[in-house]
Amino acid sequence: MEATYNPAAFEDKWYRFWLEKGYFHADEKKVLSGEKKKFSVVLPPPNVTGVLHVGHALNSTLQDIVCRWKRMKGYEVCWVPGTDHAGIATQWVVERELAKEGLTRHDVGREEFVKRVWKWKEQYGSRIINQLKKLGTSCDWERERFTMDEGFSKAVRRAFVTLYKEGLIYRGKRLINWCPRCHTALSDLEVEYEEKQGNLWYIRYPLADGSGYIVVATTRPETMLGDVAVAVNPNDERYKDYIGKKVVLPIVNREIPVIADEYVDPEFGTGAVKITPAHDFNDFEVGTRHNLPAIQVMDDWGRITVEPFKGMDRFEAREAIVSRLKEEGLLEKVEPHIHAVGHCYRCKTVVEPYLSDQWFVKTKPLAEKPIEAVKTGEIKFIPKQWENTFFDWMYNIRDWCISRQIWWGHRIPAWYCQDCGHVNVCEETPVKCEKCGSQNLKQDEDVLDTWFSSAMWPFGVFGWPEETDDLKAFYPTDLLVTGFDIIFFWVSRMMMMGYHFMKEKPFSDVYVHALVRDEKGQKMSKTKGNVIDPLEMVEKYGADTLRFTLAALAAQGRDIRLSEKIIEGYRHFANKVWNIARFVLNALEGVNLEGKKFYKPEDRWILTKLSETIETVDRELTAYRFNDAAKAIYQFLWNEFADWYIEFSKQRLYKGTEEEKRTAAYVLATVLRDALKVLHPIMPFLTEEIYQKLPNKDAESIVIAPWPCATCWNFPEDAKLVEVIKEIVRGIRNAKAELNIPPSTRVPVFVRVKEEALRGVLESMEESIKQLARVSKIEIVAEKPSNSVAFFLPEAEVYVQVADVIDVEKEIDRISKKLKSLEKDISKLEKKLSNENFLKKAPADVVEKAKSELTELKEVYDRFTETLKQLKELV
């Protein structure tokens, strides 16, 4: 092996090897024949316009860990990748390209524009897929899908037509989110809300009977032209006598009623609000309850359509209306007001609630089965708390607007008869009207919401609506890994479509991963300059290092705080594994591993620790506790194997008999091989590079190597006694450190044992203890020796003879000063932790750090106190 760990030298090589060997391709025949159990996953399809960000890296890493683990455990793993056509996002990208030529999509026409989008997709659409491969994702690339490919388009048309015929899809005039720039309806997810400094305008609405006026507060004066009522809360005593009366709408001079509705918050503004059903979602609901008309006063460009402001932009009209109200003495006051303003996620234009003819899905009937599935545990959310988010959304679900006024996407399969007006909804282009026989048909101009097609992802990728072998073998899928922000828009909709069309769940477990923030807990954004580019991190530190970092930080229910410094820190772990392997491979040179083995206590201890680690990682991955799995293998390799067992083995490797050398080498090789397997799901490249160099590898590749046995090695008594040996070594080191004795200075050590079994292990491991603790001798005694400081374990008393190597009086003085310093530090921390303000205001991790520091200081204080006491006894 090379002297230094250099991931760039082998990561691409091994990925090509895995692809050439077809390790990631699932064989449906093995599942259908019963030869193997299946484990199937669908990759949440990234936008075809996307480039890899740290959220993608986390999502795909966690899925890959599970898929690689399941593959090693003998499952036929089918992990289907693909990309989403991302209607609005992709159209926006291509429109920007057209703008460079001085053109719009309308200049080139629909057919030419769609051709250009496909050309762009062919040229750039695979970027994010190639970037995912750099991370080591073991997807079944032969099954890669695109939400606009031919087979998927057929699935989308079948779903639309079926739902339409069942009465679950309809066309109607309803309020939707509208982007006046992109000229399309938007889903709730495509609207980004930003806190903006605005105003609250207080406007007088005169009572029709001339008895006074009601003051109404609004953030959008331009919509008042479409007001149809003024609403107050029925329990608001201030307005009891006004309910049922009429007011005159300023400027327009139309009489509108005063109504009572519990939607009104008496604390907002004056407690009286204007109701404009055609331009506000809440007002639309109020209008529906009270059977009020909806008067539209804006067009789809955001321009006013009524006099005297006709043709004005909505924000220009706002100023003109406010000015007019001032002139007429109807503007009582203006207050600054911060409120959330919706913007188009793509072009950042302020979104307008807009009354429009659109296609909708009736979601209430489709939501029933998913709600029941989560209630009964048929589908599980991990962490469980996300069930509440799911239920909140599903119980209050509104009909879903699925039409978009753009050109890139699945065109709605509806044709309007130009002669009789009948709507022909069918999977293939009709030749004539099914009602009157006319051939004068025109297809709907709109396309479907991207989420409509992606809702079919778990069964569409397997060939539905055809009865394919893939569908029979791999549906339903087993796991979905996703972000919390699309529980509403994707997860719930996949459940609705899965149960409706497949009559069973689309997946069993939904693992909701955390948000990756910067080291200060802030959301990453380009404007803040705190974005971590995963590809840059892969280039600098290797894919394995980034993967291990993300896994180690992926604690359930807790956002990840990531920095390059943390990633760099885990690079040290990758280096450690590399150096462990170099030591073991060097130790194996020229050693014949065949033949009788003579196991010593430390061999049985490390093999037992290995078994415990395998069992722990297995358990933690089963529960999707990725951070705990990473922690377990990290501690085993670095602490148990490198820091202890390798050191224990050196005596036999360098000075032992042939049998002793063979046994130590065999244990080193066995532990390294199986530890690599346990580490492989998280760090696939590094483990493959090392595995291929082992003399005892048990498969062509670690990718398909069997998961190691967790019950093959179990020596609890030996393991317990070696743990005592470790405590003895640590205790000797601490005693020397506390007394300022250089680590290299060898001192005599005497041990009184309480169990005969420990005597045997001490004698067996004497040379290792002497080397690790740097002592001149270690002797088992019956009586307490003189001139010693002691520390006590439940199983033994350990005496370190120090009188000959230290100035006792000087040490007493030094430790006394040390204790005074520690007392000050402890007092300072105790004061801090008793401060209620600190406990309330400080971040949780800061408080925990302070508590941990206090515990550690107290432990050090207790040790030095005991040492001081013993030194005084020596005097």
For 90, 413, 423, 448, 454, the CA distances from 406, given in Å and listed in that order, are 11, 15, 20, 9, 17
Q: Is 192 helix (H, G, I), strand (E, B) or coil?
A: strand
What's the rounded Cα separation, in Å, for the pair 177 and 344?
A: 9
Say how far apart CA 185 and CA 177 lie, in whole Å. Answer: 6
CA distance 766 to 744: 18
Q: How far apart are the first and last CA of the chain?
A: 55
Token pair 């039409």: residue: 403
**Residue 678's closest CA among 731, 720, 616, 765?**
616
Tell me how far the alpha carbon of residue 389 is from its chain's centroid. 16
Query: Which residue, among 721, 640, 649, 637, has the nearest Cα to 682 in the 3D structure?
Result: 637
Cα distances from 414 to residues 115, 173, 277, 429, in angstroms, run: 22, 17, 29, 9
How far is C-alpha 512 from the geometric centre of its chain's CA atoms?
6
Residue 605 tokens read as 């201890």
Cis peptide before 308 (omega within 30 of 0): yes
What is the dihedral sign for C-alpha 131, 134, 139, 144? positive
Distances (CA, A) of 423 to 170, 399, 432: 11, 21, 11
User: What is the chain's length?
Assistant: 875
Q: Say which residues have a Cβ less than 8 Å from residue 709's Cβ, sequence separation at least 6.
A: 611, 614
Residue 539 in contact with residue 52, Cβ under 8 Å?
no
Among 456, 522, 714, 471, residue whose Cα is nearest residue 609:
714
C-alpha 456/C-alpha 402 separation (Å) is 14
Q: How far apart are CA 588 and CA 347, in angstroms?
A: 62
Convert 821-836 to b/e letters by CB count within 10 Å (16 or more is b).
Answer: ebeeebeebeebeeee
Q: Give yes or no for a contact between 135 and 59, defined as CB atoms under 8 angstroms apart.
A: no
Cis peptide bond prior to 458, omega within 30° of 0: no
d(CA 140, CA 653): 44
Tell me if 21 is assigned to a ligand binding site: no
Beta-ladder partners of 76: 38
Residue 781 DSSP label: -
183: left (phi over 0), alpha (psi -120 to 50) or beta: left
Tokens of 808: 């006792």
Which H/E stretch holds residue 165? Answer: helix 150-165
Burial of residue 391 (number of CB atoms within 10 Å: 0-12, 13-18, 19+): middle
Residue with tokens 């760090």: 683
Instruction: Return the closest-CA partner of residue 229 out of 175, 272, 173, 177.
Output: 272
Query: Alpha carbon of 142 to those of 39, 83, 462: distances in Å?
Result: 17, 14, 12
DSSP assignment of 657-677, as one string? Answer: -HHHHHHHHHHHHHHHHHHHH
Q: 828: helix, coil or strand? A: helix
Annotated binding site: 526
Annotated binding site for ATP: 526
